[in-house]
Amino acid sequence: MTPDPDLEAFCAFFNKLDKSYTKNLYRIYTDDVVFTDPVHRVEGRAALEAYFASLYARVIDCRFDFHERQRQGDNAFVTWLMTLRHPRLAGGRPIRVEGCSHLTFATADPARVCRHRDYFDAGAMLYEHLPLLGPGVRWVKRRLAD
């Protein structure tokens, strides 16, 4: 199967994304994009730009290793491993979280995404690494695994 150029451009964009690159979201998202992840739902590219700018404001580094990619018509799925370094999480050490993105490309503009939903373990990315919540979240996860 030959790589889909729009899906490849989307993946490449995310490895350029940082606090100064959020102004370029117009390249991959429509004006009316709806973005959902385990902790937020954002409607509209301007709101998404503000959301990403706040997310990346203090990030030391964020990298995605994209794995499986599949596109059929307007729908695409991408699996990934995100490596994140943030000064307030895990003492700035790298956090690795696996996830998947479901993307819907706009029918009228098939190079840009109009719906983006991320699936990942928010506890593994965030809650387990917070000073007060982390020990409790890890304890609950261990109890559920028993």
Report CA-CA distances (Å) from 115 to 43, 121, 132: 9, 20, 34
- Residue 44 lies in domain: 5-145
pTM confidence score: 0.84
What dihedral do alpha carbons 96, 57, 88, 129 form, nearest 10°? -30
For the record, the structure tokens of 102 come out as: 């479901």
Instruction: Tell me the CATH number at 32.
Output: 3.10.450.50
The 10s digit of each residue's pLDDT in 39-69 is 899 999 999 999 999 888 888 999 999 999 9
What is the domain count for the chain?
1
The 10s digit of each residue's pLDDT in 59-97 is 899 999 999 999 999 999 999 999 999 887 778 889 899
> Strands across the sheet with 61-72, in order?
41-43, 29-36, 113-120, 95-105, 75-85, 61-72
Q: How confident is the model at residue 128 (pLDDT cuts 50, 70, 90)?
A: low
